[in-house]
Amino acid sequence: MKIAKGAIVLFTGDSITDCGRARPVGKGAGLGSGYVAIAQERLKDNVVLNTGISGHTVRDLAARWDNDVINLKPDWLSVMIGTNDVWRQFDKRGVGVLPADYKATYRALLTRVRPNLKGGLVLMTPFLVEANEAEPMRARMDEYRQIVTELAGEFGAYLVDTQAMYNYHMLQGATVKDIAGDRVHPSPNGHKIMAETWLATVS
């Protein structure tokens, strides 16, 4: 594991990270029921924090960046944001964030925090558990996946390609229900896969 003993590891993002975590900052037994809590089992020598908030887009994340990221002074930062930016363009329950705005906003956030990270930065791509790459929401999600991939290269971040990860498991016979029944929110097994991939990426 590349993460030094005692390092502060902060996870932030939307509902996929939130998973019922404690407020105002999830830690210890309050990390929620998702991949962050599972990853913490291997990060016992570290301070693991969770500031994910369900329903948030990159614009929402920008509005709370100081309180939920900068002020917590993490050594390592893991960000997973973009699912709602895309989903809201299709379900009409809110306002999505178009690609150019998503990339510019995300880049501005990373520009502010990257110099402060003594450890590393991990970027996780948004995903849709959908095998048909031509399906409109899946195709749109892949655009945002590519943006995150480019930002990871630009900022020297570890990249956790969650779309590729779930694609692989579907090729091995996993069903959508096995991974994420609504194609977005992972099942317990989906979170386990995500945590294992995250840990493998930074190891």
The answer to whether the beta carbons of residues 124 and 172 sit under 8 Å apart is no
In the residue annotation, 60 being an active-site residue is answered as no
Q: Which residues pair with 159 in a beta bridge?
A: 123
Q: Is the dihedral of CA 11, 25, 74, 31 positive or negative?
A: negative
Q: Active-site residue among 45, 66, 91, 182? A: 182
The answer to whether the beta carbons of residues 162 and 194 sit under 8 Å apart is yes
What whole-number distance in Å separates Cα of residue 122 and Cα of residue 125?
A: 10
Q: Active-site residue among 14, 15, 68, 191? A: 15
What whole-number distance in Å separates Cα of residue 167 and Cα of residue 24?
A: 34
The answer to whether the beta carbons of residues 120 and 72 sit under 8 Å apart is no
Alpha carbon distances (Å) from 67 to 53, 71, 73? 13, 5, 10
Question: Would you say how long the chain is, in residues?
Answer: 203
What whole-number distance in Å separates Cα of residue 174 and Cα of residue 168?
A: 9
In the residue annotation, 182 being an active-site residue is answered as yes
What whole-number distance in Å separates Cα of residue 65 and Cα of residue 99?
A: 20
In the residue annotation, 45 being an active-site residue is answered as no
DSSP 31: S
Q: Active-site residue among 60, 169, 185, 187? A: 185
State residue 107 phi and psi, 5-degree precision: -60, -40
Query: Looking at the annotation, which residues are catalytic?
Result: 15, 182, 185
